[in-house]
Amino acid sequence: MLIHPQIDPVAVNLGPFQIHWYGIMYLLAFVGFLQLGKVQIRTRLWLSWNEKMLDDAFFYGAIGVIAGGRLGYILFYQLQYYINQPIEIIALWKGGMSFHGGFLGVVIAMILLAKKYKVSLLSILDFIAPLVPLGLAFGRIGNFINAELWGRPTQFFLGMIFPNVDSLARHPSQLYECFLEGFIMFIALWFYSKQKRETGQISAVFLMLYGTFRFLVEFTREPDHFLGLLFLNLSMGQWLSIPMLIAGIYLFKKS
């Protein structure tokens, strides 16, 4: 039986100054975004991007993912808690980021970028879609290090005991998401985008893959105790993923 290694969430402790693994994962995600973006600019000339546009996309997107991710978590998951504990809103090192909120934040940020460069929103989203999954993988590794977002009890051979939770073997759902929403999505989108596609198709594939993978993995993930399962015994994550899947199918057919 596997046991969670109980990694200290603080990677570097210098008295009052601390660097958390969660923050390091975000840093790796941002660096990966920039480096992969430069590769796309050099190898996919039909995209008509340059490094100035990439830098702006990074700046706008970083603000969108952090602000949207935090706001989404507050609104979708723990609104009452943060109303009662507003100081906790800035405690990002403790986790508490919503992918769906971050996704909406990035879309809003890219709308502003599209207006700045006078290009279509979908063309920008097509460019950044293959750059995102590795960042999602790093984020889930951060969740695993923090021993948060653990899975439901299981007899599966990959079951893992999280000592900070209880003595039951549980799905390491953070690692499932890291593998599917991170590495598998990255490979699929990176190779799919190596050829010129109709505008919107790469974004559509991103939506369909993420919506599908997140919906399925949620069956192994312990529902948030403050929400539980919702209508039809589906989790909040599943209900938020369904519109993404539908939007992806619609966009792919329309492209």
**Binding site as annotated, residues:** 140
Residue showing tokens 């549980």: 170
Question: What residues contact residue 57 under an 8 Å CB cut-off, 6+ apart?
Answer: 37, 110, 113, 124, 127, 128
Tokens of 208: 């369909």
Are 171 and 159 in contact, with CB atoms under 8 Å apart?
yes
Per DSSP, the residues of 134-165 read: HHHHHHHHHHHHTT-S-B-B--STT-EE-TTT
Cα distances (Å, whole numbers) of residue 15 to 10, 12, 66, 123:
12, 9, 26, 46
